[in-house]
Structure 1
């Protein structure tokens, strides 16, 4: 996965907005106004932060070397994924999907209903 395929994948999800609230070097994807993925544009290798179920966060870090505690994020809920080729794109997409789904589930019921109509 490269930055362009990451971008395309995130934007293919319903109601996603691409923003730069932290400056031009940090790409941020939101749904319902809440962040589900952040990506540094000034690092040598592609890496991004995704939200994760606290029950899985430690398990993923222990199982995969490319999964680290969320850089500049709440370590209980966020992981940093280093795209180093050690896991396949489908697993990377699964982690992105999980993050998106966690954020959607946290939205008010009315916002979730509006999202269903956009699928």
Structure 2
């Protein structure tokens, strides 16, 4: 993956294609996930048990990944990272779009994909939920809103 600089965490920032590849690699490995293209071949849509949690496409000429996100965490992310914006063509309160930019690292993209997946799974009736691995556990909402890091995986 080609980098676009170095973030405060010391990891190389990703270019747009690498943001999408990282999200895709993480998403497709999760339990009960399917990749669909209901909007055409240029729109990858990842679903868990039929519910969307991640989408990859191009917006205004740049590759982005759009992810389900807790509203408080969404606000904190948008304040911290200029290339994380309200979700493209979705509910702006519950989704974020991630493009290449300062601080957008593989670890951050992985964390956001896992959070999106967990949010969707948590919203399902218990009988419909796939078995979720421990690695998908999330930081409590209050801690996330205050900018806390996720637990070590």
Output the TM-score relative to the length of structure 1. Answer: 0.87
Deviation digits for residues 15-35 of structure 1, max 9, x if unmatched? 100000111111000001000
Query: Mind listing any 5+ residue stretches in structure 1 that lack a counterpart?
Result: none
Q: Which has the larger radius of gyration?
A: 2
Once the two structures are TM-superposed, the CA of residue 57 in structure 1 deviates from its matched residue by: 1.3
Preserved contact between residue 27 and residue 41 of structure 1 (Cα < 8 Å): no
C-alpha separation in 2, matches of 1:54 and 1:5 = 23
Output the TM-score relative to the length of structure 2. Answer: 0.69
C-alpha separation in 2, matches of 1:42 and 1:70 = 11
Preserved contact between residue 25 and residue 42 of structure 1 (Cα < 8 Å): no
For 1:1-119, list aligned pairs within 5 A.
2=18, 3-40=20-57, 44-84=61-101, 86-112=103-129, 115-116=130-131
Preserved contact between residue 66 and residue 96 of structure 2 (Cα < 8 Å): yes
Deviation digits for residues 47-85 of structure 1, max 9, x if unmatched? 110011012111111111111011101001000000235
* 1:46 aligned counterpart, secondary structure: strand
C-alpha separation in 2, matches of 1:80 and 1:5 = 14
C-alpha separation in 2, matches of 1:18 and 1:59 = 29
**How many residue pairs are counted as aligned between the two chains?**
116
C-alpha separation in 2, matches of 1:6 and 1:44 = 19
